[in-house]
Structure 1
């Protein structure tokens, strides 16, 4: 005999998508509880005072272009800090690509490629809301032909990358590398289309006080609408939640199999088992005594720095990692939070956030490799380090179970796994189990702190499980 239903919705996992789903459902008047295995909510959006009580470090995500652009997160009054330079890319000892928030300033620095950069960016900037809506959508509604054309032509152009200057080519390649996969690719080009133009529109901000503030805002909204977030509350079997009318899983496919595998139909279970996980991140948090001593002084004002060298060097490193090999000179993504948010530390104590792309499950401590990569462009960085903490790829899963083998995208971002994420179904959020839905980064629109997968999944739950229709003020019982 089934237990009585005493709860409308249970959400497993309190990453940005799980919290977003809970927000939507609690606002609709449903009783909602979020179950989080860790001691604090947030998933990939958490912060800690690792080495000093005055210095806040972001444990996973640090810079949030998608949060600033997200139709869901833009509903919240997030306190975001905007660096003058959203991202930059040192190429060699004398050459650096810099993407200023100001398009004119960026084009002027790119010289002969400035006009081409403007032609590439201008339509994206002009139609940014439409493009963002498509790329952060559920991928089930066809975009308007004009919007589709802007996205497709520029994704292809980014893939071909016909810029003549090393600076412009590297600026595109560094953003392509956020795909964590083989390059060049249309997926990398699509990511470049989104993130490159956002640098000149809604920006690449850093939350004041750390990424945890985004999670805190969502938790506060859930609680304000009668919901509850339970920490240290691990769910081992989906049947533990039989008291809920609907269940949403903010889990990678591996986690879904752990909770519900024996209950799933064979075909769906096998499809989840076939999901591929991609290359990994290996991270180091540094506490330093002063700002990084960059050769190129402009880099001190960049919120994000891509350390990868030329376009060819970025591609070579990413392709080695995609093939399961350690790159000789790995691509490193670095954030300097205090370039935008001085409250994150003190003059003699500053946080630096950096990760290298490495093969899936790599157990190697990345500290030496990351320091070496930074030192190439900032001699003397090593001497500023007061403390550091490394998380090899093989240990990332212990921090967040969705990061299987260190894959921070919750599943490889390939063309097949974008079109069918996590499996090929018209409604990717709905599982074959009655009332059970997926809402993680393994569903459209994929990784990033945007909450949109949670919103899309919650809308399905409202419609399918509670009879909600546009125009109704409350779901039906």
Structure 2
């Protein structure tokens, strides 16, 4: 039986492993950490009884992902589907609320109701086509060109200084700015608009911004169970620093090596062509994330009661303030009022904190490799919209960007996105190619967020890598071929 060795057990690595195991390969996954999951691990802390996600906490892309839909992830994990996908507090107790119900969201925006609907309704109605359009390499003709044009026109508008002019209220502008800022790029920019529009459309889709009861680890557990059911295995505590030292089989007989990690590891392959090595060396990382987890004696005392009901909260004030924060990071600085991406999972998941208590997960964007402890900046920003927040903090645990690589070697300098999310790197991720998952080295494939479609818990980079490898081996397979029982 031919072998497949996968380095890294993040969702993309496990997706590739599952696909290859189902296709008949003897699969072994090597994971540097002592637990499986990469960016979807869930650990205890900062106090006993509190459970926090190491990286990703809420998963807008998971249940719209073609791979996870074929896999049956919706039925294998207990998903929480919040009525409010995300909230955005503003000064004076005001807030923008993104309900899963698009119409309800628009109604709450008053004079901006029509503009919000005009921007997002066409994308929400064709969400599957939007996901397909954004779910692979940019170097291909879209199967649904009308949807691609609709998405592109909106991306260009919201990625330019004209974007804020589409709305008249702070609430609508802030709601959109909060999702644009997920991309950790200068604002405005086409790349931030592309990421933000997809997230906003998913917020109003059938699943909204869902997350697993018990933590993101449940996603990795479901994939691991399937891998093992099909004969595959995982070895934890296996740090791979040099491919020349790795016995991964014989590529001449069809054995495969799949890298769910930074493409930098490919530079250690003894047969790497110099042109490919130079291309990987030019690939850029950053900005990064600095994260803090809070153990709270009770819920966050948000001034707006709707914000208190939302698992995901974008903290940062107006659209102009968020742009100033993200642009400061692009210049190598951190704003005194940073954009904070916060998740309070215990709002709807009682497994995440002791009875009556609450958990809060939060990060800010910082320059690559920053040593900044974000705790005080996050506290001050949350207190701005939740007076008394400091008083409910029992404990906290922070990880600076410079410390994230020790938790997950794929996060170079604390970059949780697998490389900067610029338009140039949307086409060059990590190289310019119609099949960037294939390397020039025989039998070696890339399957991480450093390949299309980029960041997000959706398994698609892993599936693209596995599908490319199977096609190269002369045994092409579709999702329908591999997951017929799940799709039935």
Please indicate the TM-score interval, normalised by the length of the shorter structure.
over 0.9
**1:236 maps onto 2:241 in alignment:** yes
From 220, 224, 228, give the equivalent of 2:229.
224
**1:31 maps onto 2:35 in alignment:** no
Partner of 1:93: 92
Partner of 2:283: 275
Q: Tell me, which stretches of 5 or more residues in structure 1 are unaligned?
A: 1-5
Partner of 1:167: 171
From 457, 460, 469, give the equivalent of 2:468.
460
Give the distance between the partners of 1:405 and 1:40, measured in 2 at CA: 21
1:342-357 matched pairs, under 5 angstroms: 342-357=350-365
Give CA-to-partner distance per residue, 1:276-304, whole Å, 9 cap, x none.
Answer: 11211100011001000001111111111
Between 348-357 and 177-186, report the one with greater CA deviation: 348-357
Give the distance between the partners of 1:372 and 1:219, measured in 2 at CA: 40
Aligned residues: 467
1:22-421 matched pairs, under 5 angstroms: 22-74=17-69, 75-76=72-73, 77=75, 78-143=77-142, 144-159=144-159, 160-161=162-163, 162-201=166-205, 202-239=207-244, 240-243=246-249, 245-257=255-267, 259-260=268-269, 262-421=270-429
Give CA-to-partner distance per residue, 1:95-127, whole Å, 9 cap, x none.
Answer: 211111111211111000011111112111111
Contact 2:243–2:265 (CA under 8 A) maintained in structure 1: no
Between 262-271 and 282-291, report the one with greater CA deviation: 262-271
Return the offset for 1:88: 1.0
Give the distance between the partners of 2:400 and 2:313, measured in 1 at CA: 21
Partner SS for 1:361:
coil
Partner SS for 1:396:
helix
Return the offset for 1:155: 1.3
Give the distance between the partners of 2:465 and 2:27, measured in 1 at CA: 14
Partner SS for 2:239:
coil
Contact 1:283–1:354 (CA under 8 A) maintained in structure 2: yes
Give the distance between the partners of 1:52 and 1:21, measured in 2 at CA: 35
Partner SS for 2:19:
helix
Give the distance between the partners of 1:95 and 1:310, measured in 2 at CA: 11
Give CA-to-partner distance per residue, 1:105-153, whole Å, 9 cap, x none.
Answer: 1111100001111111211111111111111234343112211112111
1:421-460 matched pairs, under 5 angstroms: 421-460=429-468
Partner SS for 1:121:
helix
TM-score (norm 1): 0.95
Return the offset for 1:471: 11
Return the offset for 1:84: 1.9
| C-alpha RMSD of the superposition | 1.7
Return the offset for 1:15: 0.6
Give the distance between the partners of 1:321 and 1:164, measured in 2 at CA: 27
Contact 1:138–1:456 (CA under 8 A) maintained in structure 2: no
Give the distance between the partners of 2:248 and 2:41, measured in 1 at CA: 29
TM-score (norm 2): 0.92
Partner of 2:486: none
Q: 1:473 to 1:165 in 2, by over 3 A?
A: closer
Contact 2:341–2:364 (CA under 8 A) maintained in structure 1: yes
Give the distance between the partners of 2:94 and 2:479, measured in 1 at CA: 56
Partner SS for 2:121:
helix
Contact 2:296–2:360 (CA under 8 A) maintained in structure 1: yes
Contact 1:289–1:347 (CA under 8 A) maintained in structure 2: no
Partner of 1:19: 14
Give the distance between the partners of 1:34 and 1:323, measured in 2 at CA: 39
Contact 1:181–1:278 (CA under 8 A) maintained in structure 2: no
Give the distance between the partners of 1:10 and 1:253, measured in 2 at CA: 16
Contact 1:16–1:449 (CA under 8 A) maintained in structure 2: yes
